[in-house]
Amino acid sequence: LAALLGNALISTAVACDHRLHTPMYFFLLNLALLDLGCISTTLPKAMANALWHTRAISYAGCAAQVFFFVFFISAEYCILTVMSYDRYVAICKPLHYRTLLGSRDCATMAAAAWGAGFLYSVLHTASTFSIPLCQSNVVDQFFCEIPQILKLSCSKSDYFRKIGIIYFSFCLSFGCFVFIVVSYVQIFRAVLRMPSEQGRHKAFSTCLPHLAVLSLFLSTAMLAYLKPPSISSPSLDLLVSFLYSVVPPAVNPLIYGLRNQELKAAVSNTYNFNIHKMHASLTGVSRLL
């Protein structure tokens, strides 16, 4: 609930406040929408299952859950990569910021991130559910997760083909990671060359929320997928999956909201406006009655 509320508030504030209609906040809006989608894909079904004391999910429902989860997670990683480019241009090439990141350029990059997430998800969902499953019909997770589904495979050749696709995806993800690292190396070099301490502090403060969100996203994902098989256990797998699928979408609004005064003010104004509007509506209804 906190994740839904926080990301919904950020989305509403950025969309409604004209002062936040800048490239940085446009990408933040996309990030909040992806976090909303990610948290809505896994938790509602898990909460319903816990409420009704069941773990059942249909085959089609499992495929849909895999598709949307991979779509939102991969698109979010692409958006975080684009946001590192936004910070690079803002700090290293401030005079060309509006030229390199015009409204059309931002829309194109955001659309490319969502499109890449869609294609990536189609590839993984199709390859995962084309593998015959014969071990069991029980997934040891609170949602349908690809590694857990692969454990049910009974075809060695299809299994290794899927592993090859995963390694190919890892190479693409590593390319994005290299781009982010290079961008921040250039950013830190530019900031350290600034003569003013106040300028350096301001530049670092605009990068810290993105770095914190990116670090949380990558650390939880790597913990989930790169941990040694020797330490794997059902309870640990469940905990790690919860960390990377639920914690980042829940914490991201706090990271950006606590560090960004403009966003904090916009969220406060949006909240107060809605409260006053609701109060006025209720007052009007009571007078009519």
Q: What is the pLDDT of residues 1-60, one digit of tens each?
A: 677 887 887 888 788 877 778 888 899 899 999 999 988 888 877 777 777 777 777 888
Question: Would the pLDDT of 253 be above 60?
Answer: yes
Question: Would the pLDDT of 286 be above 50?
Answer: no
pLDDT band at 135 (very low <50, low <70, confident <90, very high): low
Q: What is the pLDDT of residues 48-93, one digit of tens each?
A: 777 777 777 788 888 888 899 999 999 999 999 999 999 999 999 8
Average pLDDT over residues 189-203: 84
pLDDT at 229: 67
pTM: 0.84
In 231-240, which positions are buried (b, 16+ CB within 10 angstroms) versus exposed (e)?
eeeeeebeeb
Which of the two residues, 266 and 123, has the higher pLDDT score? 123
Joined together, the tokens standing for residue 57 give 């999910």
How many whole angstroms from its chain centre is CA 87?
Answer: 18
Phi, psi (rounded to 5 degrees) for 133: -110, 125
pLDDT band at 144 (very low <50, low <70, confident <90, very high): confident
